[in-house]
Structure 1
Amino acid sequence: MSIRSCCLALVLAWSWVLLASAVARAEVVPLVTLDAAPGGTSLVGRIGYLEDVQGSMSIADIRNTSLDDRFAVPSSVVQQSGLDAHARWFKVRLHQAGSNGNWLIDSSNSILQHFSVYGPYDVNGTALAPPRLGDLAVPSAQPALDGDRAMYRFHLAQPGEYTLYLRAVSDLPQYYQWSVWDAVQFGQAEQGLSMYNGICYGLLLGMLIYNLMLLAVFREPLYGYHFLACLFAIVTIAALNGHLGRYLLADARAWVPTVVLAAPPLWIAFAALFCRSFLELPRYAPRLARSLLAFMPLCGLAVLLALLGPTRWALVLTQALSLATPVVMFAAAGVALQRGFRPAGWYLAALAVLFFAAAGVALNNFRVLDLPWHYDGLQFGLVVEITVLVVAMGSRIHLVRKLNGELGQKAEQLARDAQTDPLTGLSNRSGWTQHGRRLLETSTQAAVLLIDLDHFKPVNDQCGHAAGDKVLATVGQRLQSVLGGRDLAARLGGDEFAVLLGDTPDRAALQALVQRMIHLVAQPVPFDGKQLKVGCSIGIARFPSDGRDLSVLMHAADQAMYFVKKHGRGDSAFNEDTTPATLAAA
């Protein structure tokens, strides 16, 4: 099948779904018997529907019997795309078997611009209550239960048949899922829903605080992006569920539709920035990283359109972004996971939870599924998504700490290697300088020994460099074997060694230690069936009598060592014994 044929098939399938969701039967509106059972009574498929495109019909026009045949009975939830502001009339026929019933009709909508109720009318056409002409931008005068969405309470004193007319106007997407409740049962159901909402919002606020703590500790933009994404996600859900208008904007409900339009693109923008940072996309998927950045101006434009108008284009742009951005996010997470970034697996799981929750809401609205929740499912999906993302961030923190630890170990190893002679394992000249100065700062008495091998060049020339390397490595081991914990040995280069004794004994004991070194160095070195022999000459400078600086002490020890070289080699000399004054006195 060609790509063109596949696309045509998808378009036809989607058109069928849309058509099926809007199927309406032009017939008499059925009579609904009022029932006080828990859960209420759904009016889907049992309510009359008439769309007033011009918005000019009055209640007198609607009640005209000649219009009865224009009321259709939709078989599923009546949907509104949000691209129009048509008035939508609903006709409900009710039957009460008993007396003194207190009832409530719930629209499940919280962002209607206008919501009016006419009736109930008895069989004689007499209105039993004055009309409610409501504008939800104005704080409702109804009881608290009317505070978060459009609903209407009414009382029926006598048994009989009654009719209500409901008029709704909105320029935002709506799903009119009407239901009728016994007022007491509705109150009890609302208590359970309030507990559910309280738990959800408590968890979401806890996640916000957690992100602020991470931001304060690590000071990475990543956590700021996630905080703002969570914040605008909560604002979006609270606005859709009616809680924003009920609690935070009770005196400014005219702003609720604006918030409903402006918050989602901000949620999308910061979620995209979080995705880009969390998945390290500039490293793992540079093209997708640039794609997410390309959405930022569009999100900003959507916010401006929401604030300044026209709201229709803000809605269209936001819906397009909400479709395109998750696709890029899924692709980015898949690429990052494929390339070895393990926290991307948690991110994929979190994104999938929210995606399937949103898909469940959409399928529920299309009546493909019959789920008992509306935007509550999206709210639950958001809670689970943010919770999983917290786990994902914990996984990322663990990975980063592990990598930082490994990098720290490598850096320490590189630093040690940079200060270590690879042949002997002793410090090199750089390590000698750094550690030697530090050792002198903590010593009260110390000594610097400068050691130069005697007869080393013939070994190198006659037996080769491998033999010379064997001698140098063996000498290094033998020198290290006689040193203590506060002593330092180094190979300065060629056949020149140095020793810093951090805590020196008296002169006689020091002389004995030096003679032991000379004896050890002079021992034969077995190599390839041969016994290689070298000697050494050692110059000694003592701290602080010969100097307080390492370079000064090395110069003094060097003079003493060359004095030994000049007078026969294979011995040692103290710098204090080689000064002109000392030699003259001798």
Structure 2
Amino acid sequence: MIDGASYGLLAGLMVCGLVLLLVFGSVIHGYYALACACALVAFAGLNGLAPRGPSAHWPAAALVLWTVCRLQFGRHLLRLKDFAPRLDRVAQATLVLFAIAVLYAALETQLVWTLRTVQALAVASTVILAVGAVMVLRRLPWPAALFLAGAALLIGGISATPMSIWLDPAWAPRRMNFAQAAVIAELMVFVIAIGVRLRADRALEARTQQKVEDLGTDALTGATSRAGFESRGRDWLREGRPFSLMLADLNGFSRVNERHGRAGGDAVLAAMARRLRQQVRADDMVARLGGDEFAILLVGTPARHKLAEMAIRMLTAGARPVEHDGRLLAGGELNFGIASHPVDGDTLESIVQAADRALRHCEQQRMGPAYAFAGELHE
């Protein structure tokens, strides 16, 4: 019953890691899910196989892989590459020893030596990461503190578990395997640390984006922010300068986030902003209004066919695949709503509304071009 509850907890934590990986697409969530999976396979095998059987060393090999995933998870959780680069290089160097240990565990049929190797690797990696946690405690107080708490649980569990428990043919209730319980407890603490780190990253990202947007730039794409767009538009209106506005959004952008996570969606948005800027002149402006919606302010009021040609060029550029993390993601299918000042409005709000109506009309059409003009809707 105790083993069944342990397996259920590990499976639940693994599913939690996979969900986070699918939603956010971060490598830290992948390492966490793999650590849970390796621990589940290792404990199920060690508890179910004969300790001196010919296959007993394979679950122990899974336990070595758990130490590898745990080390990689700790490096990313504590951001050692950014805050403790020398220690991070030491941690990366130990991966060579881990690789040798994996081969040893896969070939060595003497379970006791494999388990001692696992103990040594787990303790060594814990010491390295604990030093890192102390070094980054000021910058990442809660993730570092939670990591230290989880590491203390693990070391305590390993110390309290005699090696003979893994080697007995039958498990005795009075001789609880504290190491197994400690691994699960540590993984539970780690998932809390992931949540705390995610919340802190979101808060920092929001503060950074707000500061950048105050300067007129969208932090994600490098395009002009909504505030910058509104400021430029009102300046042109005060100067009495004629201009055209193209509103654009991406069809099916939600599917990109579902398939490739938030990181994939961000890569597509950044690529779209870059490609739109490549199609306009130096005096024109490309702004991100939010989500997958962009605005292009064009100096003057070009002829209708010129604006149509520009929309087609942008559509073609946006449709190219986007390279992200070694994969090619589908590009964006753009729609455009086009309005001009002073023909379609005399305030920025009315011009934006006119372009937005044209954009919605374009999205509702099943046939026809991927752009629409506000003036033609009036007609």
Give the structure-2-normalised TM-score: 0.53
Q: Does residue 1:208 correspond to 2:208, yes or no?
A: no
Distance in 1, Cα, partners of 2:190 & 2:126: 15
1:376-432 Cα offsets, whole Å, 9 max, x none, are 322222222111111111111111111111112112111179999xxxx9x876873
Q: Is the 8 A contact 2:46 2:60 kept in 1?
A: no
Name the aligned partner's letter for residue 68 of structure 2: A
* Aligned position for 2:104: 305
Q: Is the 8 A contact 1:269 1:296 kept in 2?
A: yes
Distance in 1, Cα, partners of 2:40 & 2:8: 11
Among residues 163, 181, 184, which one is paired with 1:383 in the alignment? 184
1:55-114 Cα offsets, whole Å, 9 max, x none, are xxxxxxxxxxxxxxxxxxxxxxxxxxxxxxxxxxxxxxxxxxxxxxxxxxxxxxxxxxxx
Instruction: Call closer, same or farther: CA 1:232–1:438 in 2, change over 3 Å.
Output: farther
Among residues 332, 335, 346, which one is paired with 2:135 in the alignment? 335
Matches within 5 A, 1:121-520: 194=1, 196-242=2-48, 245=49, 254-255=54-55, 257-309=56-108, 317-362=117-162, 373-374=174-175, 376-415=177-216, 432=235
* Aligned position for 1:143: none
Name the aligned partner's letter for residue 306 of structure 1: A
Q: Is the 8 A contact 1:343 1:392 kept in 2?
A: yes
Instruction: Call closer, same or farther: CA 1:344–1:428 in 2, change over 3 Å.
Output: same
Instruction: Call closer, same or farther: CA 1:401–1:307 in 2, change over 3 Å.
Output: same
Distance in 2, Cα, partners of 1:236 & 1:307: 13
Name the aligned partner's letter for residue 240 of structure 1: L
Shift of 1:349: 1.2
Shift of 1:437: 11
Secondary structure of 1:337's match? coil
Distance in 1, Cα, partners of 2:25 & 2:59: 31
Instruction: Call closer, same or farther: CA 1:436–1:281 in 2, change over 3 Å.
Output: farther
Q: Is the 8 A contact 1:299 1:318 kept in 2?
A: no
Distance in 1, Cα, partners of 2:241 & 2:188: 50
Name the aligned partner's letter for residue 432 of structure 1: D
Instruction: Call closer, same or farther: CA 1:346–1:373 in 2, change over 3 Å.
Output: farther
More strand by share: 1
Ranked by relative contact order (alpha carbons within 8 Å, sequence separation 6 or more), the top structure is 2
Name the aligned partner's letter for residue 330 of structure 1: A
More helix by share: 2
Distance in 1, Cα, partners of 2:240 & 2:77: 45
Instruction: Call closer, same or farther: CA 1:435–1:202 in 2, change over 3 Å.
Output: farther
Distance in 1, Cα, partners of 2:242 & 2:176: 70
Q: Is the 8 A contact 1:419 1:431 kept in 2?
A: no
Instruction: Call closer, same or farther: CA 1:269–1:435 in 2, change over 3 Å.
Output: farther
Q: Is the 8 A contact 2:142 2:193 kept in 1?
A: no
Name the aligned partner's letter for residue 237 of structure 1: F
Shift of 1:266: 0.8
Secondary structure of 1:254's match? coil
Residue-pair matches, total: 239
Distance in 1, Cα, partners of 2:157 & 2:242: 65
* Aligned position for 1:495: none
Distance in 2, Cα, partners of 1:439 & 1:373: 85
* Aligned position for 1:536: none
Name the aligned partner's letter for residue 396 of structure 1: R
Secondary structure of 1:199's match? helix
Name the aligned partner's letter for residue 269 of structure 1: V
Distance in 1, Cα, partners of 2:140 & 2:3: 38
Shift of 1:338: 3.5
Name the aligned partner's letter for residue 206 of structure 1: G
Shift of 1:272: 0.4
Name the aligned partner's letter for residue 361 of structure 1: T
Distance in 2, Cα, partners of 1:305 & 1:346: 32
Q: Is the 8 A contact 1:226 1:270 kept in 2?
A: yes
1:456-489 Cα offsets, whole Å, 9 max, x none, are xxxxxxxxxxxxxxxxxxxxxxxxxxxxxxxxxx
Instruction: Call closer, same or farther: CA 1:293–1:441 in 2, change over 3 Å.
Output: same
Distance in 2, Cα, partners of 1:438 & 1:316: 77
1:44-65 Cα offsets, whole Å, 9 max, x none, are xxxxxxxxxxxxxxxxxxxxxx
Q: CA RMSD in A?
A: 4.3
Distance in 2, Cα, partners of 1:292 & 1:320: 15
Secondary structure of 2:23's match? helix
Matches within 5 A, 1:546-585: none
Distance in 2, Cα, partners of 1:358 & 1:339: 30
Task: Structure 2 unaligned segments of length 5 or more: list them.
Answer: 166-171, 246-340, 349-379
Name the aligned partner's letter for residue 335 of structure 1: M
* Aligned position for 1:169: none
Instruction: Call closer, same or farther: CA 1:437–1:254 in 2, change over 3 Å.
Output: farther
Instruction: Call closer, same or farther: CA 1:381–1:306 in 2, change over 3 Å.
Output: closer
Secondary structure of 1:415's match? coil
Q: Is the 8 A contact 2:64 2:105 kept in 1?
A: no
Task: Structure 1 unaligned segments of length 5 or more: list them.
Answer: 1-193, 247-252, 366-370, 443-541, 551-586
Q: Is the 8 A contact 1:347 1:389 kept in 2?
A: yes
Distance in 2, Cα, partners of 1:397 & 1:438: 45
Shift of 1:301: 1.0
Name the aligned partner's letter for residue 221 of structure 1: V
Instruction: Call closer, same or farther: CA 1:316–1:221 in 2, change over 3 Å.
Output: same
Percentage of identical aligned residues: 33
Distance in 1, Cα, partners of 2:77 & 2:30: 11
Distance in 1, Cα, partners of 2:18 & 2:237: 42
Instruction: Call closer, same or farther: CA 1:206–1:410 in 2, change over 3 Å.
Output: same
